[in-house]
Amino acid sequence: MCYTELAKHFRVIAIDHRGHGRGIRSSQPFRLSDCADDVAALMDQLGIATFIPVGYSMGGTIAQLMWKRHEHRVRGIVLSATAAHFVSSRQERIAFSLLNGIGAVARLTPSALRRSISDRIYLSRKTMTWEPWAAQQVADHEWRAILEAGATLGNYDARSWLPTIDVPVAVIMTTDDQVVSPRRQKVLAEEIPNARVFEIAANHDAVFARADEFVPILVEACLAVHTDAIARAVSPSSLGTSS
C-alpha cells in the first residue's frame, strides 16, 4: 500500500538491505554504513543523481547515514519509527551485546540448520496472521545478518552530527511504540534543525497494522519534504550571482 500511494507522486525505489529479504548476502559483518553505500551504488546503476531517502525503523538509521556519507545526493529525508540512538542504560547495553554473541554463534551454524530453526521457531509462530508476501519476505532473511543488524543498532548514535543536517527532514513518530521508545523518537526530531513532525498513536507495526492511517501520513510527510526541497533549491540564498 505504501508503494502504491507514494507512486502516485514519486518514482519509488525499494531495496532489500543486506541479509533482509532478497538483499545482498555477504560474509562480512553487518554494518549500517555498508547499507547506506549500497543505496548510493544502486542509485548509480539506475542513473539517479539525487533522491529523498525514506527510512522506517532500522531503515531510518540508514537514511540518516545516507546524508552523512552521501550528502550531495540527498535532497531531503523522511524518518519514521526510528531514533538517533537506541541504548542508554546498562541493561540495554547487555541486551544488545547478547545479540553480538548470538550472531557470532550463528556464523558457526550450518545454513541449513539456521533455516530449519527459523522455519520451525520463528516463522510458524510469528507469520500465521501475515499476508503470504510478508511471510515470504521474512522467510528469505539471512538470520545471521539480522542478528548482527540488531547488535549494530546498539552501537548507533548520531546525536553528535544530526544538528548539522541541512536538508528538509520529516519525522513520523509512532507515539505508542513499544520497540523504539517515543521519547527517543522525540529526541531525534529535536536534534534535527527545523524537522517537520508528524504523529500517529500506534505501535511499531503501524506501517502494516495501521496502514489505512499511517500511509496517508507518510505521503503527506514525503510531499512536505519534497516541497521544502524545491523551495530551498530556488530560494534567493541558494542562487548564484553573476557579474
pLDDT, tens digit, for every residue of 64-116?
A: 999 999 999 999 999 999 999 987 766 666 555 555 544 444 444 445 544 54
End-of-domain residue from the set 128, 155, 182:
155
Phi, psi of 107 (to 5 degrees): -65, -25
DSSP letter string over 128-188? TTS-HHHHHHHHT--HHHHHHHHHHHHT-B-TTTGGG--S-EEEEEETT-SSS-HHHHHHH
Q: Which CATH number is 40's domain given? A: 3.40.50.1820
The Cα–Cα gap between 207 and 220 comes to: 14
174 and 164 within one domain: yes
pLDDT at 76: 97
* DSSP at 118: I
Reported as a single tens digit per residue, the pLDDT across 138-157 is 555 566 666 667 678 888 99
Alpha-carbon distance values, 57 to 64, 155, 199, 225, 234 (Å) = 11, 15, 15, 19, 32
97 and 198 within one domain: no
186 and 208 within one domain: yes
The answer to whether the Cα torsion of 49, 141, 124, 202 is positive or negative is: negative
End-of-domain residue from the set 129, 155, 181:
155
Which residues, listed in sequence order, are joined to residue 172 by a DSSP beta bridge?
80, 198
**Percent of the chain beyond pLDDT 90?**
56
Element (H, E) at 197: strand 196-200
Cβ 15 vs Cβ 39: under 8 Å:
yes
Alpha-carbon distance values, 17 to 29, 55, 62, 69 (Å) = 13, 11, 10, 17
218 and 173 within one domain: yes
pLDDT surpassing 90 at residue 222: yes
Which residues, listed in sequence order, are joined to residue 197 by a DSSP beta bridge?
171
End-of-domain residue from the set 127, 155, 183:
155
User: Which three three-digit cell numbers place residue 92?
Assistant: 540495554
User: Which three three-digit cell numbers place residue 107?
Assistant: 556464523
81 and 166 within one domain: yes
pLDDT at 123: 43
Reported pTM: 0.78
C-alpha distance across the termini of the chain, in Å: 51
pLDDT at 101: 47
81 and 168 within one domain: yes
pLDDT at 127: 44
The answer to whether the Cα torsion of 169, 5, 146, 197 is positive or negative is: positive
Q: Is 182 exposed, middle or buried (0-12, 13-18, 19+ CB in 10 A)?
A: middle
Task: Write out the residue range of the structural domain in which residue 92 sits.
Answer: 88-155
